[in-house]
Amino acid sequence: MAKINLVCEHCGGAIKLDNSHEVGMCENCFSQFIVKEDKIVQNITQHITKHVYGYAGKDVEELLIDADDLLDCGDEAAANRKYKRAIDIQPDCWEAWLGYANTRGDRSHYISMVPAYIHTCNVAANEQQIVRTFVDMTSWIPISNIRSAFVRAFNLAPSSERRQIFKLVSDVIGCDETEIAALAVDLCPDDWRTNFEMAKVRQIRARWSQPEGFFKSKWPEQTEEVFRLFGKAYDLAKKDGEQAASSVATYINGLARDGSYATFANELKRRIGI
């Protein structure tokens, strides 16, 4: 190891190494350091404890950096307070509002991030910031396929319609899957992902389903609805590409292996040609 100057960057005191020559401590202020690759690297835990949790005299940029460090350490609540302090200093700071929203806003309710995202959108200075706000907000939708469809709809929409889409999506955060899927189908009727998710939401109606009538040729209407949903999803997926079609087909094949859905799924496979 090359000779290095073991001087504390905080107080200028001497750093004493332990027997491994890899860990040191300042004899004056007791800051801890790690000696790595011929240089002293400040111990991250010591740094967070001594420097990041403080507020006094810090400007907005410093507060945002601190908040990011706290998120890296998994302390979302502390990061949230940093973002709020930055907002108090600069009320129209988009970066601070986005961080505040991403860490659950005022944290008073399970959907308290929603008004924070709305305010973030209101202070956005350009299209890139508006889109980023919307994308981050959709992360609170639990279904990845629907998140992707919402983002695509937002990106394709003219500016005059984006505000309405933003509001519609913000209104379903925290709702159940049926309401979310219904909105997704309304916004993106020709997207295979939204129809696929709605089919999965409705599939419970086809569980244990059997054909009826004297010739066993008629299915219950509620089962026919599920046939239609999966059929439309598969048709749209085929237009989107092999990978999309394979996703739907794989799911249906899985249903066919489930005894409670086997009769329904095998009829569905016959109908759509899997």
> Tens digits of per-residue pLDDT, 223-241?
999 999 999 999 999 999 9
Per-residue CA distances from 136 to 69, 98, 245 (Å): 19, 8, 28
DSSP state of 258: S
Read off φ and ψ for residue 114, nearest 5 degrees. -60, -55
Tokens 């009320």 sit on residue: 91
Digit-coded pLDDT (tens) for 8-46: 666 667 777 777 666 677 776 666 666 654 444 444 444
Q: pTM here?
A: 0.74
Which amino acid is residue 107, in one-letter code? Answer: R
Looking at residue 213, its pLDDT comes to 76
Spatial strand order of the sheet with 23-26 comes to 15-17, 23-26, 32-36, 39-42
pLDDT for residue 11: 64
Say if residues 243 and 202 touch (Cβ distance below 8 Å).
no
